Chains A and B, each alone.
Chain A
Amino acid sequence: DAGVTQSPTHLIKTRGQQVTLRCSPKSGHDTVSWYQQALGQGPQFIFQYYEEEERQRGNFPDRFSGHQFPNYSSELNVNALLLGDSALYLCASSGDPIVGEQFFGPGTRLTVL
């Protein structure tokens, strides 16, 4: 079992560009959540997907959008990138859509210049 995987590992973009990050959940998990972790801070919840639908959303603008595929993998899209979007983007998967253990992927380090 590979656990939660994410791609790419690192990404450099310029302001105004768009980016897509990808996540494959742990085998047997069907719930995927995305978090943004700025340097020196705790992760902040962006949104969560279950059964291919967005179930919950944190305080992030509409520039942040996502998708979940039938195989439970997920994408995070960010449009019109700002310098402040530079962060580590973490994906977490869970096998319980109510309240369960969440396991994190290694993250994608996004740098916006």
Chain B
Amino acid sequence: GENVEQHPSTLSVQEGDSAVIKCTYSDSASNYFPWYKQELGKRPQLIIDIRSNVGEKKDQRIAVTLNKTAKHFSLHITETQPEDSAVYFCAAAAAGNKLTFGGGTRVLVKP
């Protein structure tokens, strides 16, 4: 089955700096790659996603890149703000909607 590895497990950045989280996946059939943000005690919230026919997608300060050949994808957050502090999860899915999640990255933005 699919296996998703996520790095780093924790990330501390200064407010205004950029944050990058990287994930690798194992199943070449995976074609949907969402990113979720989960604040303490709350539900995972979809922040951006990318499909396998696209190499990059941006939404304001957030961008995701996908390298299908290398089977890795990354989340980039620019101009980080304290409210970006949370746990971020990458996930991968092939047809059928079964999401396989990475282990999560705890991001701390220091003011």
Binding site for B on A (CB under 8 A): 31, 33, 35, 40-45, 48, 55-56, 58-59, 90, 92, 94, 96-107
Contacts and interface: CB of A to CB of B under 8 A. Distances in A.
Interface string B44-80: 1110010100000000000000000000000000000
A59 B94 CA distance: 17
B104 A42 contact: yes
Place the interface of chain B in its size category.
20 to 34
Given A42-B89, A99-B31, A33 B44 contact: no
Given A41-B103, A42-B103, A100 B97 contact: yes
Contacts of A55: 96
Given A31-B97, A42-B101, A48-B96, A99 B32 contact: yes
18 contacts: A33-B98, A42-B91, A43-B89, A44-B101, A45-B98, A48-B96, A48-B98, A55-B96, A58-B98, A97-B96, A99-B32, A99-B51, A99-B97, A100-B32, A102-B34, A102-B97, A103-B46, A107-B43
A25 B103 CA distance: 26
A41 B77 CA distance: 22
Contact of A33 (B6, B94, B99, B102): B99
A94 B98 CA distance: 11
B97 A96 contact: yes
B48 to A, nearest CB: 11
Contact of A41 (B42, B49, B95, B104): B104
Contacts of B21: none
Contacts of B36: 104
